[in-house]
Structure 1
């Protein structure tokens, strides 16, 4: 009987690993050509190093080449975020204030979340949505608790927080759950 149970567990484990491997392969092969390239640390596929195409008459429009389906798009050059639903519709776009460590362009996934913590700059923050790290410092979206006014961090402190207003932080918290894709572009 014990051998049968172990065999069932081993079979289920193998099936689960196979399914995860297949899904990872499928995700990798469906990355648009514009997102192809060498993956950065923690990224599945790097975005093009050049700046993603922008709409000349609407600078807040979603840049092209960011993929399809539900995702968060973050432009390190424009300091802007787009929340995109499963039908490729922009649900919200808003400006952000990044720390001094930028993630490499690429595709990441939300890996952890915290309701309330203290940021690497010593500021109390809420609705933290992390998706990678740079130089050992977590990088993610968050909102400063209080009035949301910018604070000057010690220039010697590495900061990976991408700060949003509290209202935008609430939306990000609801939208970007564990496993949601984050596409970082220039």
Structure 2
């Protein structure tokens, strides 16, 4: 009987490890190339979506007016937009496990540095929404890493590179519009 129990536990453990390995591999596939760790001085590859297609860099239509941050859920891309629809900067991001609904929000709070919900120290945190108690915002990992997403965990941190996070921090002050598009 003890031998059977040991075999069941061993089988369950092997299955759990295989599942975690698979989920980790799938999560790594969703990290935008511009957030993957690169050696110093290596050029950033062309951004691609988790599906592998090239992400558009043109400002999405019907994405608001005036100075604003535009966040595309489909393309995991952000645009910092000045008056006259002039794009100041656009960049890829690594999404969180909880997405805000499409719509217009306002930056409600900011933090220079905190620990992210995944335990990673982050900086330039710009918060703009909440979904069922999960706060949604942009941030950059101090170590430059992208999050490893666990679909069972509710996280709201949309990860950017440190350089993009610094640009977001300067642009997205309290009250700035954040337009989320599908």
Match of 1:123 among 108, 120, 126: 120
Cα separation, 1, equivalents of 2:55 and 2:80: 17
Per-residue CA deviation, residues 34-57 of structure 1 (Å, 9 max, x unaligned), is: xxxxxxxxxxxxxxxxxxxxxxx9
Q: TM-score scaled to structure 1, two decimals? A: 0.66
Instruction: Provide runs of 4+ in structure 1 moved above 3 Å.
Output: none
Partner of 1:42: none
Q: Deviations over 1:153-182 (max 9, x none)?
A: 444321100000000000000000000000
CA RMSD of aligned residues (A): 1.6
Change (3 A) 1:118 1:150: same
- Over 3 Å counting, the alpha-carbon distance change for 1:167 and 1:156 in structure 2 is same
Q: How many residue pairs were aligned?
A: 129
Counterpart residue number, 2:158? 162
TM-score w.r.t. the length of structure 2 is: 0.68
CA deviations over 1:112-170 (Å, ceiling 9, x no partner): 00000011111110000000011201100000011x12242444321100000000000
Matches within 5 A, 1:34-45: none
Q: Residues of 2 paired with 1:182 and 1:58: CA distance? A: 20
Equivalent residue runs for 1:101-140 within 5 Å: 101-140=98-137
- Consecutive unaligned residues of structure 1, counting only runs of 5 or more, are 1-56
Instruction: Tell me which of 159, 171, 175 is aligned to 2:171.
Output: 175
Corresponding residue SS for 1:169: helix
Aligned residue for 1:87, secondary structure, equals helix
Asked whether the 8 Å contact 2:97–2:149 carries over to 1, the reply is no
